């Protein structure tokens, strides 16, 4: 089992609003959707997207389960965008939960919004770097501290009814083909310029790369 997972869960059925949701991330829906009927097919798309990223477009697998619209985000870019997730929660007047785990870099975190950010936790390479808000009742049985691990983050998600493992039992997944908006491309271009201007010889990460 891979320890790298990323997802966004929006309370309610929002499959007819996905173009609007992705627009918050400055991604443009091409409406070239593909429907899959099992999780193995979905994993193939997710893995291919992860291993062969495109700077100008991306695919995201979306499904509905147990009252939540779930968007996978193995890039860990969308699911860690607190500002945008807050806007989505405010716009749809509904809770939003997101998580990110990455085993090789030792990163484990989650975020919870209900028209504002109520809770966030992030553990990175041996230390807690974010611990915002009052602990949720859903955290009670888990190590949401400097011992946090994959099972703890996904354990909290399951307490909300968000269970990634249950995707294996589902029969309907939507693959969204998304293009970068002009605004996003301009931001990336500007970030690239700044990145190279700081130190052409330095080994570091542009802002849109999680690791």
Contact 152, 143 (CB under 8 A): yes
150-159 pLDDT, tens digit each: 999 999 999 9
Q: Using one digit for the tens of pLDDT, what is the confidence trace for 132-154?
A: 999 999 999 999 999 999 999 99
CA–CA gap between residue 71 and residue 58 (Å, rounded): 13
Closest Cα to residue 64, out of 23, 18, 105? 18
The string of pLDDT tens digits covering residues 27-51 is 999 999 999 999 999 999 999 999 9
**CB–CB of 171/154 below 8 Å?**
no
Give the domain ranges of the chain. 5-198
Give the pLDDT band (50/70/90) at residue 189: confident
The three-class DSSP label of residue 118 is strand
In 3D space, the residue among 23, 10, 27, 103 whose CA is nearest the CA of residue 62 turns out to be 10
Quick one: pLDDT at residue 200?
53
* pTM of the full structure: 0.90
Q: Report the pLDDT value the prediction gives residue 206, as an integer from 0 to 100.
A: 37
């Amino acid at each position: 089992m891979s320890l790298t997972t990323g997802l966004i869960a929006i309370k309610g059925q929002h499959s007819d609003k996905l173009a609007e949701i992705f627009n918050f991330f400055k991604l443009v829906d091409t409406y070239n959707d593909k429907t899959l009927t099992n999780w193995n097919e979905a994993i193939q798309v997710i893995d291919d997207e992860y291993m062969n990223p495109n700077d100008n477009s991306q695919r995201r697998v979306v499904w509905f389960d147990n009252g939540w619209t779930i968007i996978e985000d193995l890039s860990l870019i969308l699911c860690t965008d607190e500002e945008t997730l807050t806007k989505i929660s405010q716009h749809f007047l509904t809770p939003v939960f997101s998580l990110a785990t990455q085993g090789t870099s030792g990163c484990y975190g989650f975020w919870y919004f209900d028209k504002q950010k109520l809770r966030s936790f992030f553990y990175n390479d041996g230390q807690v770097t974010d611990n915002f808000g009052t602990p949720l009742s859903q955290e009670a049985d888990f190590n949401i501290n400097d011992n946090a691990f994959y099972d703890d983050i996904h354990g909290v998600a399951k307490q909300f009814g968000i269970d990634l493992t249950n995707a294996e039992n589902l029969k309907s997944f939507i693959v969204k083909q998304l293009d970068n908006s002009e605004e996003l491309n301009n931001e990336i271009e500007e970030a690239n310029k700044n990145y190279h201007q700081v130190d052409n010889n330095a080994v570091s990460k542009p802002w849109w790369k999680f690791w």
